[in-house]
Structure 1
Amino acid sequence: MGVSARFDVRFYMAGSRWPTNPFRFRGPGTLEVQDDFVIVRGSRQRSFRLPQRCEERLRMADIVNAYDNGQDVWFDVLGVDEDVTVGFSVADAATAQRIVALLPARQTERFRQEHEENAVFHDRIDYWTPSTPVIWGLLAANVGLFALMWLARRHYEAALVGPMRRMFALYPAAADASLQASLLRDWGANIGRLTLGQGEYWRLVSSMFLHGSIWHPGFNMLALWQVGTLAERIFGSTRFAGLYLLAGVSGSLSSVLWSVLRHAPVSSVGASGAIFGIIGGLLAFLSRPHSGVPPTVVTELRGSLLPFLLFSLWMGFVYPHTDNAAHIGGLIGGWLAGHLLARSIHVPEGRGVVKPGG
């Protein structure tokens, strides 16, 4: 039985953001498409040993639901006990399309419905919000302010004289923390005695765009990009900007009120309250019966948002110095704002966009 075609592919481990496979293959491999079989070869990682070269032979009769997305390819393999999904990447989109064309065109009813409803969803958000200028503006504002604060910090350090210089020499960690706290206070951190005590309510907003260490904006901006891009497409740019600000202020207000109730002065900064609010807003949008988001997409989005939300809240309780009051306040504020700002993404009749499938 001759080989119809052979392709160089790349496999990824489970847990990555790329296509994964059930064989624990990772790195370069090959895919051979024969008349009756698909042969998958790759390297299986082993603890404290060299990778093992392995081969999996899959029957063409068991392969269904083959599809591609750019350079990535997936297909399902029907099994006796369970079905598995095989995914990998190739050099270019044309190669991915060629592989899918060689695989069986059979589709399960569930797969067909999921893909039809995903197509409807993307057509709708493409119609209403084809670009996401607000999320890019928010990313630029947060990163830009962090860069300006870093430059200001260098200026502060150069201007230190007398006892502060000796403090840096004798107690570098304490002096560094003191300098960082002073800088954040001057730039608008959310501090109870200033925000509420002296009426500097602008700090409820300014603190949303300030961050401490390099890891703080790094993690926050990654999360903001992941959930904010989708939220802006669903809500629309203007409504999304309102959601971000309302959720962020709600988180800042919860943080400062909680610190006052506990009589524990806190200097709160970061975009995480607004990010939790965006998640709350998305969950509120998805709960509306006439939102225009197809049922399959609602299930998929809830399935990805809820674990991320619960894990982030748990991490907030585990790690010290985490402002969970801002997270919970932002989540609640975002959920309420999500109901207020929600719109329908149904497309008007006659606009040439796919009609709902359910």
Structure 2
Amino acid sequence: MTGSTTYDVRFYRGGQNWPMNPFMFQGAGQVAIEPDFVTVRGCSHRSFRFSKREQHRLRMADIINVRVEGEDVIFDVLGVEQAQVQEREVGFSAGSREAAQRLAAALPTRRTARFEVEYAERNVFHDRIDYWSPSTPVIWCLLVANIGIFFLMWFVRQGHTAFNAQSLLAWGAGKDAVRRSIQLVYWGSNVGRLTLGGQWWRLFTSMFLHGSLLHLAFNMFALWQVGRLVERIFGSLRFCGLYLLAGLAGSLASVLWNPHVNSVGASGAIFGIIGGLLAFIGRQNSGVPPTVVSDLRGSILPFLLFNLSAGFLYPHTDNAAHIGGLAGGWLAGHLLARSLHVPGQSKAQ
């Protein structure tokens, strides 16, 4: 191919931390740049079919909004679908920051006015949280505490509890479920007659207990996904307060709504930090630019609707803890929120 420069790249199917592409490419591929065209070659993966090597030729004149994010190169491609101009996002990893910069420099520099505003606002937001909270130590401590306690319970079996095995077996529980329930109560689960009977510390300890490995995995994944951003927005000390207040609110709602449930889990606190995030971005002069507010709401609200709806359908989900944590986190978020504006930086955004 005369007059072309070829770059080795890697494609991804998309996700929160990976650039996406509309061609369903995944894995190693190439990008060939000619004077008037860009050819992307990769291996497409589709459900219930063998992978297939494909290539797509894009006109240089249709490529806009080129940007570099670390090792990734991302750009939009103009197209016409159903008599309307549509933009498709194409992204891939160039393997290194230097290669990404070289590849991006060979692409058109034209950007739309809307993209310029949104791109600038997202950069301002990241600059602000980098300034105030470059790290997330509390999240790491919470992950270690939850995971460590769960696996410690695997090795330490305690038999003393306010419940007895015969009563649990009478409810139809199996031996494994009996043993697990006894141990959870012994370690501090949120049991109505014990918590309301004066053992209020169970509102706190139940936040760090989980009934199964799957329960732990789901909660820790959600905490990792949302918690890192929320800690950087609130700051580590305020985030710690938000997490604990939201978790206590979820535990209290759970035991008041259904005191007969043996409740455990970090999900009330996790819903609470989401509520705190919604409270933060809804405040005036928060320092979160409008583009980022829209991005966050667009990702948070579907998550909440799906999980709350699923909670009403799945009988073993403690939705009272979720709703209580969400409400408690929203209130705590207003109390603990700060401004992200950096001293000396313009407050126009």
Instruction: Tell me if TM exceeds 0.5.
Output: yes
Match of residue 121 from structure 1: 125
2:276 is aligned with 1:281:
yes
Q: Deviations over 1:230-286 (max 9, x none)?
A: 1111111111111101100000000000113xxxx1000000000000000000011
**TM superposition score normalised by structure 1:** 0.89
Rounded Cα–Cα distance in structure 1 between residues aligned with 2:121 and 2:280: 17
Match of residue 78 from structure 1: 78
Rounded Cα–Cα distance in structure 1 between residues aligned with 2:16 and 2:272: 26
2:307 is aligned with 1:303:
no
Match of residue 192 from structure 1: 192
Structure 1 residue 346: Cα displacement: 1.2
Rounded Cα–Cα distance in structure 1 between residues aligned with 2:67 and 2:327: 39
Rounded Cα–Cα distance in structure 2 between residues aligned with 1:356 and 1:63: 32
Rounded Cα–Cα distance in structure 2 between residues aligned with 1:16 and 1:336: 28
User: Which residues of 2 match residues 131-146 of structure 1 at below 5 A?
Assistant: 131-146=135-150
Match of residue 175 from structure 1: 175
Q: 1:289 to 1:8 in 2, by over 3 A?
A: same
Match of residue 41 from structure 1: 41
Rounded Cα–Cα distance in structure 1 between residues aligned with 2:63 and 2:348: 26
Aligned 8 A contact 2:9 2:93 in 1: yes
Structure 1 residue 318: Cα displacement: 2.7
Q: 5+ residue gaps in structure 2?
A: 160-164, 166-172
Match of residue 208 from structure 1: 207
Q: Deviations over 1:70-110 (max 9, x none)?
A: 22221101112311111112322222121111111111111
Aligned 8 A contact 1:3 1:32 in 2: no
Rounded Cα–Cα distance in structure 1 between residues aligned with 2:307 and 2:180: 25
Rounded Cα–Cα distance in structure 2 between residues aligned with 1:357 and 1:2: 49
Q: 1:200 to 1:356 in 2, by over 3 A?
A: same
Q: 1:344 aligns with which of 339, 346, 349?
A: 339
State the aligned residue count.
335
Q: Deviations over 1:132-157 (max 9, x none)?
A: 2111111111111112111114x77x
Structure 1 residue 10: Cα displacement: 2.0
SS class of match (1:314): helix
Letter paired with 1:248: G
Match of residue 60 from structure 1: 60
Match of residue 96 from structure 1: 100
SS class of match (2:199): coil
Rounded Cα–Cα distance in structure 2 between residues aligned with 1:43 and 1:128: 42
Structure 1 residue 8: Cα displacement: 1.8
Letter paired with 2:250: G
Structure 1 residue 19: Cα displacement: 1.4
More displaced 10-residue stretch of structure 1: 281-290 or 310-319: 310-319
Rounded Cα–Cα distance in structure 1 between residues aligned with 2:341 and 2:150: 39
Match of residue 149 from structure 1: 153
Q: Deviations over 1:289-325 (max 9, x none)?
A: 1111111111111111111111221222232311000
Letter paired with 2:346: K
2:341 is aligned with 1:355:
no
More displaced 10-residue stretch of structure 1: 213-222 or 39-48: 39-48
SS class of match (2:156): helix
Structure 1 residue 2: Cα displacement: 2.1
RMSD: 2.0
Structure 1 residue 13: Cα displacement: 2.3
**TM superposition score normalised by structure 2:** 0.91
Match of residue 312 from structure 2: 317
Structure 1 residue 49: Cα displacement: 3.6
More displaced 10-residue stretch of structure 1: 83-92 or 320-329: 83-92
Rounded Cα–Cα distance in structure 2 between residues aligned with 1:143 and 1:131: 21
Rounded Cα–Cα distance in structure 1 between residues aligned with 2:286 and 2:16: 31
Q: 1:343 to 1:47 in 2, by over 3 A?
A: closer
SS class of match (1:252): helix
Rounded Cα–Cα distance in structure 1 between residues aligned with 2:47 and 2:283: 48
Aligned 8 A contact 1:14 1:24 in 2: no
Q: 1:304 to 1:48 in 2, by over 3 A?
A: closer
Match of residue 162 from structure 2: none
